[in-house]
């Protein structure tokens, strides 16, 4: 199986031994505590679940600035997005702190952190981090808005994770750690695995894209890996996406060719930088290929349609990652051919030969109770989405 990023062994930071976990949880009750941001909580979950391997914990200022500028830590590890515990409050002189979960009622302890440094970002440093990661300082960008609101104190140091926040409880059939996915891939006997990242329901174009990619790279199976964390307003909740994707896989994919899983992270909307981070997640989960399509991890018009592909040529050294990228073009239903195609593979088509709907138009149709064109969405998937949108409309 493909090696994890940065070494031969995966390094999840979750405390798996039950006795050790009880002892650490008991010790945490006597430690100074910090209720972290949702972003930092998501970072802790990803560290615990092995997706951020081989990071030992939260970065210090020097590492964060180096990653922002060079996509490498100060020690030289290739990494595209700083992994930070940013807070608006100081932790004083505490050498060890309990990190409390902002997303679970009562704020239970999520992890214990050994504090190596507490540093303060200047205005210039905060702006540099945001601009390098997101490519903009526009406060209307949801990722920028979130990042700039987190605070200036950088609390660095290794962590040990006690639980996976709300993800394992609310999505028991879907949330999986990187070691769990690696084990499932091994048990399935798969050697080549293509991963599909999604924060949205999957329509016909997404379905066919997975099948095209699997055939193109001769993969044994497809990992559909959905983000389960916080999204921007207007995005479809994870439970609805989960139901729609599972229905599509059940009815329209060959048996035993797809794993439907999810991971506990908040969406950054960082476009190209986040696409590279997504590649690391999937390499750590054991995948050999990642589909990177149009406007991968983007939002609005902040990024070019294929910037998330070109960054792998322009900024990712050839020896930095083992996972390979499957570069997808726009996909749409061809009226001429009667099937979904990549538009680059149909040079004889005119725009009128394709069935394409904007996300806004899709939402309008569903909210009004109108069926989506069968060329765009499987009817069973459309019904799940329509029920959700109609519930939303009736609740307004």
**Any domain includes 246:** yes
Distance CA 179, CA 187 (A): 12
Domain count for the chain: 2
Taking alpha carbons only, the member of 286, 310, 289 closest to residue 217 is: 289
pLDDT at 357 (0 to 100): 67
CATH number, position 47: 3.10.400.10
218 catalytic? Reply is no
What contacts 69, CB < 8 A, 6 or more positions away? 128, 132
Structural domain ending residue among the three candidates 111, 146, 168: 168
**How much is the pLDDT for 234?**
77
Per-residue pLDDT at 371:
85
Per-residue pLDDT of the chain (396 residues; tens, 9 = 90+): 899 999 999 999 999 999 999 999 999 999 999 999 999 999 999 999 999 999 999 999 999 999 999 999 999 999 999 999 999 988 989 999 999 999 999 999 999 999 999 999 999 999 999 999 999 999 999 999 999 999 999 999 999 999 999 999 999 999 999 999 999 999 999 999 999 999 988 889 899 999 999 999 999 999 999 999 998 887 888 999 999 999 999 999 999 999 999 999 999 999 999 999 999 999 999 999 999 998 999 999 999 999 999 999 999 999 999 999 999 988 888 999 998 898 888 999 998 999 886 666 777 888 788 888 888 889 999 999 999 988 887 776
> Are the CB atoms for 323 and 282 separated by under 8 Å?
yes
Same domain flag for 149 and 199 = no
Catalytic (active site) residue 327: no
Reference 86, options 46, 56, 58; nearest CA is: 58
164 plus 281 within the same structural domain: no
Q: Which of 100, 176, 182, 199 is catalytic?
A: 199
CATH number of the domain that 262 lies in?
A: 3.40.50.620
Q: For the purposes of burial, counting CB atoms within 10 Å of the CB of 279, is it exposed (0-12), middle (13-18) or buried (19 or more)? A: buried
**Of 72, 96, 191, 200, which is the active-site residue?**
200
Q: Would you state the pLDDT for residue 226? A: 97
Which one of 168, 191, 215 terminates a domain? Answer: 168
Residues 252 and 315 in one domain: yes
Q: Quote the domain boundaries for residue 111.
A: 18-168
Does 190 reside within a domain?
A: yes
Quick check: is 206 in a domain? yes
């Amino acid at each position: 199986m493909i090696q994890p990023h940065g070494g031969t062994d995966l390094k999840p930071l979750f405390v798996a031994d039950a006795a050790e976990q009880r002892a650490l949880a008991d010790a945490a009750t006597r430690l100074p505590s910090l209720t972290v941001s949702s972003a930092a909580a998501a970072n802790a979950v990803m560290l615990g679940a092995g997706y951020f391997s081989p990071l030992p914990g939260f970065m210090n200022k020097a590492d964060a600035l180096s990653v922002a500028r060079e996509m490498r830590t100060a020690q030289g590890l290739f990494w595209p997005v700083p992994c930070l515990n940013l807070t608006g409050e100081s932790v004083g002189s505490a050498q060890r702190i309990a990190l409390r979960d902002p997303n679970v009622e009562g704020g239970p302890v999520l992890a214990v952190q050994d504090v190596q440094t507490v540093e303060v970002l200047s205005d210039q440093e905060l702006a540099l981090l945001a601009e390098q990661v997101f490519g903009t300082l526009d406060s209307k960008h949801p990722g920028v808005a979130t990042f700039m609101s987190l605070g200036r104190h950088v609390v660095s140091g290794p962590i040990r994770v006690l639980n996976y926040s709300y993800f394992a409880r609310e999505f028991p059939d879907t949330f999986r750690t990187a070691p769990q996915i690696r084990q499932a891939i091994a048990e399935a006997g798969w050697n080549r695995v293509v991963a599909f990242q999604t924060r949205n329901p999957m329509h016909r174009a997404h379905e066919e894209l997975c099948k095209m990619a699997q055939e193109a790279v001769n993969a044994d199976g497809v990992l559909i890996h959905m983000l389960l964390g916080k999204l921007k307003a207007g995005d479809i909740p994870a439970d609805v996406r989960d139901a729609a994707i599972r229905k599509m896989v059940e009815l329209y994919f060959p048996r035993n060719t797809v794993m439907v899983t999810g991971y506990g992270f908040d969406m950054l909307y960082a476009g190209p930088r986040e696409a590279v981070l997504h590649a690391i997640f999937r390499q750590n989960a054991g995948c050999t290929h990642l589909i990177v399509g149009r406007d991968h991890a983007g939002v609005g018009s902040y990024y070019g349609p294929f910037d998330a592909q070109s960054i792998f040529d322009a900024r990712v050294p050839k020896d930095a990652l083992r996972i390979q990228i499957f570069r997808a073009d726009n996909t749409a239903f061809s009226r001429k051919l009667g099937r979904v195609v990549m538009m680059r593979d149909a040079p004889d088509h005119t725009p009128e030969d394709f069935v394409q709907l904007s996300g806004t138009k899709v939402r309008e149709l569903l909210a009004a109770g109108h069926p989506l064109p069968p060329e765009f969405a499987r009817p069973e998937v459309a019904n799940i989405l329509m029920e959700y949108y109609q519930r939303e409309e009736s609740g307004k």
